[in-house]
Amino acid sequence: MKPAKATASADPEHDGATDESHSPRADRPLTASEQLEELLDYPWPFPGRPPKHDLSTWTVTDDWPDPVPVTEAEIKVFERWFGDLFDELFGSGG
């Protein structure tokens, strides 16, 4: 005699309707948007149009000193990382 096929979950409160193992999400990691929705608890992107930015009302403030101070350590870092490019652009100094 064959055993009867179980049709109900062992947990009486679990009806299988919200079983995440059969959802498409269980087969793949969450996207960044889905993670953000879970974190914020509301949909992303936010509903509605993005705000319009009137660039004519923007102001740029330059409060750097003139000349901009640069340390020897900063110069060495740039020379190490961009030395080949600087030599190509400005010619080698040696």
The angle subtended at Cα 9 by Cα 7 and Cα 15, nearest 5°, is 95
- The predicted structure's pLDDT at residue 16: 54
- The predicted structure's pLDDT at residue 82: 93
Between 82 and 2, whose confidence is greater? 82
In 3D space, the residue among 19, 21, 24 whose CA is nearest the CA of residue 8 turns out to be: 19
Domain ranges for the chain, please list them.
67-94
pLDDT in tens, 3-55: 555 555 555 555 555 555 555 556 889 888 788 888 888 776 666 777 788 88
- The predicted structure's pLDDT at residue 36: 82
- The predicted structure's pLDDT at residue 76: 94
Q: Are 35 and 41 in contact (CB under 8 A)?
A: no
